[in-house]
Amino acid sequence: MKSLRILNGNSLKFTAAALMVVDHIGFLFFPDILLLRIVGRLSMPMFALALSEGCRYTRNKARHFGLLFALALLCQIVYYFFDNGSLYMCILVTFSLAVLNIYAMQNFKKRLFDGSSALLQVGSAALFVGTVAATYVFCNFCAPITIDYGFWGCMTPVLASAFDFKNVDAPEAVKKLDRLPLRVLCLGLGLLLIALDQLPSTLPFWALLSLPILLLYNGEKGKLKTKYFFYIFYPLHLALLEGIYMLLYVF
């Protein structure tokens, strides 16, 4: 498998970005061409794995979450004013909630294996369970707010991080579980739960086709410095596509 792992972090995210543009073009301009939406289903799992990997390696957790959440908030303000007061939360909100849950889970795993007292272990477990419960409530009982991909969309990057023991002083037998195929399998479980939650629509099931591609990820970052590129790309491409749409169909 190692010889087949040809995708680094940059190539994975650039591929995901290109597929996302295809999806949004299909949604806005060619809603009757199902193939564009099917191709677009491969984007979210790639970004979900990239998000999980970002949480795995980032040093400044507060800045990582703060930047993602600030951009999500900015996008939602724009959506609200330009989409007739829509309270549909974009994927950046979904991923912001995912990051909170991942960091809570990381804290629990560290407390579990670093010799912390039973009280701290129970407290960290309660914090993690609390963040998951709060996410569930926010996704399911805060109408008219709607979260993109729903609760399981928030949990998919968390599931991908379940066997991340990179910075955890766990026994070697436990650390051996920290393998890409297992992380991808857990992510696939999240995709399946998303699809089942959105029945009778069958479109979300096409996202499972991304799993073989994710197995080509080699765990390397890549040479290009793209730290802030994707934070800028998401709102920029949406604004560009929406502007073209308004020129063609509104004005």
Phi, psi angle pair for 147, to nearest 5° = -95, 130
Q: What is the pLDDT of residue 2?
A: 62
C-alpha 158/C-alpha 174 separation (Å) is 18
Q: How many residues does the chain have?
A: 251
pLDDT, tens digit only, all 251 positions of the chain: 566 777 888 999 999 999 999 999 999 899 999 999 999 999 999 999 999 999 998 889 999 999 999 999 888 887 776 666 778 898 999 999 999 999 999 999 999 998 889 999 999 999 999 999 999 999 999 988 999 999 999 999 999 999 999 889 889 999 999 999 999 999 999 999 999 999 999 999 999 999 999 999 988 887 777 777 877 888 888 888 888 988 888 76
Residue 220: count of CB within 10 angstroms of its CB: 12
Beta bridge partners of 147: 89
Residues with Cβ within 8 Å of residue 94, at least 6 apart in sequence = 147, 148, 149, 153, 154
C-alpha 188/C-alpha 232 separation (Å) is 28
Domain boundaries defined on the chain: 2-249
Tokens of 141: 């009982």
Residue 18: count of CB within 10 angstroms of its CB: 12
- DSSP 3-state assignment of 53? helix
Residue 214: count of CB within 10 angstroms of its CB: 23
